[in-house]
Amino acid sequence: MRVGILDIQGDVSEHLEMLKKINVEGVMVRYKKDLDSIDGLIIPGGESTVIGSILKARGMDKYILDIKIPVMGTCAGLILISEKVDDKDGLMPILKISVSRNAYGTQRESFETDLKINDVGSFRGVFIRAPRIDEVRKGVVLSYFNGKPVMVKDGRNIGLTFHPEIYGDERIHKLFVDGLD
């Protein structure tokens, strides 16, 4: 089992640590060819416009869709795999959901909260200029915050509006990896 972490921008090393904790080999994914040797891909948070334009320039967006690699997208990563983003077509429509970018406010309004997550339990969620999920057309919602979905799973794909890698709690990574078998 090898799980890739998209290494273009964002908190890549924290995700690698989480995989180490559950004894899964983490692989840095920078170019298209790196996608051929992995069983699943984590797209970390960062700035979705920056990550998206590099994915496009390297031909990786179409390839990720073509080879149907399971993806876990967090925050900016979620934005990149959403079907609709701010009412426009998203880059890689893997999750049939609609999101609004930066809907919880600016960097200063970033916050943490204790979430209840189905199949995981209580979990400290860190929201950093997070997107908001406005509609889920397919898949199951595993957690809500203030009445809005914050974690969605559809088949082997998972999307989260918060960062699961900050506090060293590996349970969400385990949920993703367990689904890859």
Catalytic residues, which ones? Answer: 75, 163, 165
103 to 142: interface string for ligand GLN, x by CB under 6 A: -------------------------xx-------------
Residue 176 beta carbon to ligand GLN: minimum distance, rounded to whole angstroms: 17
Q: How far apart are CA 45 and CA 47, in angstroms?
A: 7
3-state helix, strand, coil in the chain (%, to 5): 25, 35, 35
Question: Judged by CB, which is closer to ligand GLN: 39, or 86?
Answer: 86
71 to 100: interface string for ligand GLN, x by CB under 6 A: ----xx--x---------------------
Q: What DSSP string runs through 130-181?
A: --EEEEE-SSEEEEEETTEEEEEEETTEEEESSBSSSSS--HHHHHHHHTT-
Give me the residues that bind ligand GLN (CB under 6 A), please.
Answer: 45-48, 75-76, 79, 101-102, 128-129
